[in-house]
Amino acid sequence: MKIAVVQVNSTVGDIQQNLEAHYRIIEAAIEEDVQLIAFPEMSLTGYCRKEGEKLAFTEHDSRLNKLKTLATQGDIHIVVGAPIKIKGKLYIGAFVIYPKKPIGIYTKQYLHDGEELFYSSSMHYNPIIKLGQERISLAICADINNENHPRAACKNGSTIYLPCIFNSEEGIKKGYEQLRTYAKDYSLNILMSNYNGELWNMKSGGKSAFWNSNGELVGCLNANDLGILVAEKKKEKWATRKLVLN
């Protein structure tokens, strides 16, 4: 089994350019026989607050069509982020694009201070991705600040916890300690995706990483890497490798 996260930067508001970057990266992952790939928080639009209403995707947005085609043709699960409008409310969400069934939606459950001025939160959209013998729970950024979130993933029988985040250079230090602790305490393999570069007037912290269920850091990208971190399970042991993108 191969699962992967992407460390990339997105241009706020330039959805078409961001989509084109997603297509290229997904095609590279398909070449590597990756079965699931996840991008950072709001990867399709870039992290935003006041622009969220204008840039929002809908539940059945036609702009996802090519991603769905890639998922089906490449037999790959794709997790991408965006502001999502559902029944009149705006959420920070992630689309789960399955190769063989309809697109699912995850919504951020715990918001950062200030995000509540623009977005709602919800616990009602929380799919579990089943891949082989693995059960994968999603998280978006501030979700990991509340220990109830990974605890619930453990109680739900998940074996992999998949946070898609936007953390600064300072924030990623705290994030690493949190995720290492959760991996060990809740016996979760954790694969985390973060941005690199400048975004929202902030330097992203990068360092997308994978911890095994003993809390051991198996592999990570550097702060400035543009690339893919692939985690591969052979028998019962996980290993990682980096794919650097141009």
For residue 142, pLDDT over 80 is answered with yes
Q: pLDDT band at 60, cuts 50/70/90?
A: very high
Within 10 Å of residue 31's Cβ, how many Cβ atoms? 10
pLDDT over 90 (residue 26):
yes
| Mean pLDDT computed over 120-147 | 98
| Cβ contacts of 235 within 8 Å, gap of 6 or more | none
What pLDDT, on the 0 to 100 scale, is given for residue 245?
87
Average pLDDT over residues 182-199: 97
Per DSSP bridges, beta strands 77-86 and 57-58 are parallel
Please tell me the predicted confidence (pLDDT) of residue 10.
97
Residue 118 reports pLDDT greater than 90: yes
Give 161's Cβ-side CA count (13 Å radius): 35
Domains contained in the chain, CATH given: 2-244 (3.60.110.10)
Q: Indicate if the pLDDT at residue 238 is higher than 80.
A: yes
Reply yes or no on whether the pLDDT at 117 is more than 90.
Answer: yes
Q: Is the pLDDT of residue 246 over 90?
A: no
Q: Quote the pTM value.
A: 0.98
To which residue do tokens 């990623």 refer?
A: 172
Kindly state the tokens that stand for 16: 């078409």
Percent of the chain with pLDDT over 70: 100
Residue 201 confidence (pLDDT):
92
**Could you tell me how far CA 104 lies from the centroid of its own chain?**
14
